[in-house]
Copies of this chain bind each other. A is one copy, B any other.
């Protein structure tokens, strides 16, 4: 039960964009360098985020990416669910997978788990994360002064 690196990288990418929201587009190249991630791999990820309407893309020289909405209007759930399936088991949505779902009590366990996961991630916005990050950064700087 691990979240994929795709989702983790995707969230970091979104945070990089959130962090400079309002300051124009960012090149994938720069984000990849800053976050120390493969640009090629990130390009797959950002394309999915674009298809999901979470970022806007501009092609050509001086192109780049921007967040499609303000940070408070994008949740971690939005990001994660476009990059991987947040339902921890298939038989909740497709009862056909396990025979005799009517009799299976495990099904209810996984349904509740799925609900807990999405509830948790849906209630954290990128703006929340920005606030945490800035607070952490303050403490960090203070500590090392």
A interface residue numbers (CB < 8 A to B): 1-4, 7-8, 11-12, 15, 76, 80, 84-86, 88-89, 102-106, 108-110, 112-113, 116-117, 119-121, 124, 129-130, 132-133, 136-137, 139-140
Give the contacting residue for A137; candidates B80, B103, B119, B139; CB below 8 A.
Answer: B103
Chain B residues near A11 (CB-CB < 8 A): 106, 109
Chain B residues near A80 (CB-CB < 8 A): 1
The 26 sampled A-B contact pairs (Cβ below 8 Å) are A1-B2, A1-B3, A1-B4, A1-B7, A1-B117, A2-B88, A3-B89, A3-B113, A8-B89, A8-B106, A11-B109, A12-B106, A76-B109, A102-B136, A103-B133, A103-B140, A106-B129, A108-B129, A109-B121, A109-B124, A112-B120, A112-B124, A113-B120, A113-B121, A116-B117, A116-B119
